[in-house]
Structure 1
Amino acid sequence: MKRRDVLRGALAAGLAGPGLAALTNTRHDIDAALAADHSDLGFWESTAERYGYGYHGQAPADVLADILDDFAELRPLLSLPQTVKGRSVLCHVTGQMAGMAAIVLHDLGQHREAHRWFGTAGRAAEQSGDTLLHAWVLGREAMVPLNYGAPQAAAQLAEKARFLAGDQPSATAALAAAVASRAYAIGGHREKALRAVADVEELAERLRPQQQADTWFGYPMQKHHVHMSQALTLLRETHRAYETQQRALDLSRAPSLMTRALIAIDTASCRAHDGDRAEAARIAAQAYGALPASYRGGLTRTRALALYRTLPTDTPGIDTLADALALAS
């Protein structure tokens, strides 16, 4: 006899015997599934939150290895039956963790693989139904072409992120505007870049404290000044750039090795623009050369090499910078 017929008979008899047992067993099954689902989801949400706090002095390759280990456990859950809410949460966590894996790959200089992981993160974000998460993924993905020679593609991704983020102040909207400002500056679109700088500065002032959290998902003032350092350096607004570089350093935690090196290279670029090329070479060589070997690839090398190529070959101290770059080649 079908369970439906057993239950109908039990209801007619006042819920007794096999019908009551079937009803009770069904409820127990659901409760067990809900309890397991809640436990798993809570663990994965906390895991994604933990990764969101960034490197904390760890080498990028080590962080990436940890994320991939956790993904090996998370992946099977995506193929299991879930409640609508459970599926949404799993997709949200997957979008966050795939996005963070892509960030690390970007920092390691693996920009092709970073794009692929951002694509996965974007699909997961769409399925989660969280538009702001999708905008965050696009905004972070825009930093790949931004830092590796494709400013037009970066601007397009940043503008898509700005559209999805909407007009309300959010960490994602601020990030997207900041990336847009840098992309336009690199591409030589000065007026667009200056408008984007004004937009992000206005957004940053309106963010709530929780939106300024110092995580990969927040937009802390330290991160804001790092973005503005690069945008204003590229725009040759050196006076403003020096000010925001100092603010970024003041707000950076001691273990922020990569951040401090990138800010120093921005400062060196400003010095070169202002005519003090010897000091530019000295600052860049010292900042880049002091990095541990695991930090000398990817973005830091790209920035240091770009500065090196702008300096005349007879610049005092340029050989020291060349030697530092050769150590990572």
Structure 2
Amino acid sequence: MALRHWRKDIRDIGLRPLADEINWSYSHLAKWERGEQQPHADAIKTLDAKLNAGGYLVALHAAVSELDQLRRGTLDEEPLDEDGYMERRELMRNAAAFAAAGAVAPVLTTLTDAWRMSSPDRSLPGASVTQAMIDDWENAADVHVRRAYFDPPATVLAAVAVDYTDMAPHLSRTQPAAIQRDLAHAAARHTAVIAGKWFDLGNSREAHRWWAKTRELSEQSSDPLLASWLRSCEVGYRQQDPQEDLVNVLSTAQEARRLAGDRSNVALVSALSAEAQALATMGRSDEAITALLRTEEVFTRLPAQITADRDWLRRGTYLDRSLIYTLAGDSRRAAEAQSAARNLYPATHRSAIVIQLHGAALQARTDPEQGADEALRIVGALPTGRRDTRVIRAAHIVLDVAPENAHLLPAARELRALTAA
């Protein structure tokens, strides 16, 4: 998707002319764009130069390649000399340049290195990392999660790859028990973002592999609330995939609820929310509404000292209401939720875009042509890089709820073609 973005949206070059210019076959280039084959490094360097991508494609390819080697356990862990190490780190960090506005990235890299060198070594005997490094990775996870709502998936994936590749070698080493738990905690939050971005890029196979890694790491963290929350995140993605086994997805949501326990907490709210979404997607509207009401009840009973997560949980309940009542055909409650949510999300936030598409679905129930036109307008206004799987799936809800005889309308046919692509 990143390659197509640079070729089509930024440089406006046709696929066949580009293939001719770089002397590679058209079929290979098409497969690379679709993610069916991985281009080798020389080809990426040629494409980066031809598209004037400033090293972004090279850095992204390096990041993804290292992530794949880490997942397979085949990353070469032989020690590099100083020049080799610095070259590798510079390459990996350049992958975050797109997200860090390019000019800021070199300064950020220099300051990060200086921070590491100036921090006192507080590592425990036998540990290969310091607590300060783990805290920094936890903070980085917060940043990646926040940016995931606004930035294109490829940009987020490139940025998170830098941090995860930095911490991954330490995961395979023997650490003191406390350090191992804290390291796994930070790593699990990163792998969850990686899994989500692969899903957004349309690669469900890689997403499933990284969700499995997330579950493994969350268990190593010995934090059941983290394990619950990350499983809820997994459900939030997977329930939108039409190829998914929704019974299995619902089972994962119920596992998240079990891990969260019975007392009111953030993880339990997220788990009940995930269960409600899965039930709604399965067409079990009455059960979904019951789970939604239970979610809202638990939210109101959260301890007063929980403040940091309360706002985003409250916003999430309106998103749940919008989805569940839209699918259930309760136009009044769905419209109320969408109206309230518009004041809670920035206009460019993904959830704000999804809620707009829910509004288009409400229109499609009574005026399919108008609803499909509105969905096309919403998606068409987005940069190509932000038309990710979740946005496209939300647009497809318009077709799901429209009357059967509406599917031959021109706007509906155009929307079907868009969501299929």
What TM bracket, shorter-length normalisation?
0.7 to 0.9
Partner of 1:20: none
1:195-238 CA-partner distances (Å, limit 9, x unpaired): 10111111222333223254xxxx2x222211221111111122
Larger Rg: 1
Q: How does 1:158-307 map to 2 (within 5 A)?
A: 158-207=253-302, 208-212=306-310, 214=312, 219=313, 221-256=314-349, 258-273=350-365, 275-307=366-398
Do 2:399 and 2:407's aligned partners in 1 also have CA atoms closer than 8 Å?
no
Q: 1:311 to 1:87 in 2, by over 3 A?
A: same
Of the candidates 128, 135, 138, which is equivalent to residue 231 of structure 2? 138
Q: Say what the alpha-carbon RMSD is for the aligned residues.
A: 2.8
Do 2:239 and 2:249's aligned partners in 1 also have CA atoms closer than 8 Å?
yes
| Deviation for aligned residue 1:56 | 5.5
Do 1:180 and 1:193's aligned partners in 2 also have CA atoms closer than 8 Å?
yes
TM-score by length of 1: 0.80
SS of residue in 2 equivalent to 1:210: coil
Distance 2:128 2:388 in 1: 45
Do 2:375 and 2:395's aligned partners in 1 also have CA atoms closer than 8 Å?
yes
| Deviation for aligned residue 1:292 | 1.1
5+ residue gaps, structure 1: 1-27
| Deviation for aligned residue 1:306 | 4.3
Do 1:139 and 1:161's aligned partners in 2 also have CA atoms closer than 8 Å?
yes
Percent identity between the two aligned chains: 25
Q: 1:49 to 1:312 in 2, by over 3 A?
A: closer
| Deviation for aligned residue 1:119 | 0.9
| Deviation for aligned residue 1:303 | 2.9
Distance 1:86 1:169 in 2: 29
Do 1:115 and 1:141's aligned partners in 2 also have CA atoms closer than 8 Å?
no
Residue identity in the other structure for 1:108: L
Q: 1:312 to 1:198 in 2, by over 3 A?
A: closer
Distance 1:237 1:91 in 2: 43
Distance 1:164 1:29 in 2: 33
Of the candidates 59, 84, 97, which is equivalent to residue 177 of structure 2? 84
Larger helix share, 1 or 2: 1
Do 1:135 and 1:161's aligned partners in 2 also have CA atoms closer than 8 Å?
yes
Greater displacement, 30-39 / 199-208: 30-39
Do 1:182 and 1:227's aligned partners in 2 also have CA atoms closer than 8 Å?
yes
1:53-89 CA-partner distances (Å, limit 9, x unpaired): 2336321110011111221111111133422211111
Residue identity in the other structure for 2:383: P
| Deviation for aligned residue 1:107 | 2.5
Residue identity in the other structure for 2:368: R
Q: How does 1:108-127 map to 2 (within 5 A)?
A: 108-127=201-220
Greater displacement, 53-62 / 196-205: 53-62
Tell me the matched-pair count. Answer: 295
Q: Does residue 153 of structure 2 align to residue 55 of structure 1?
A: no
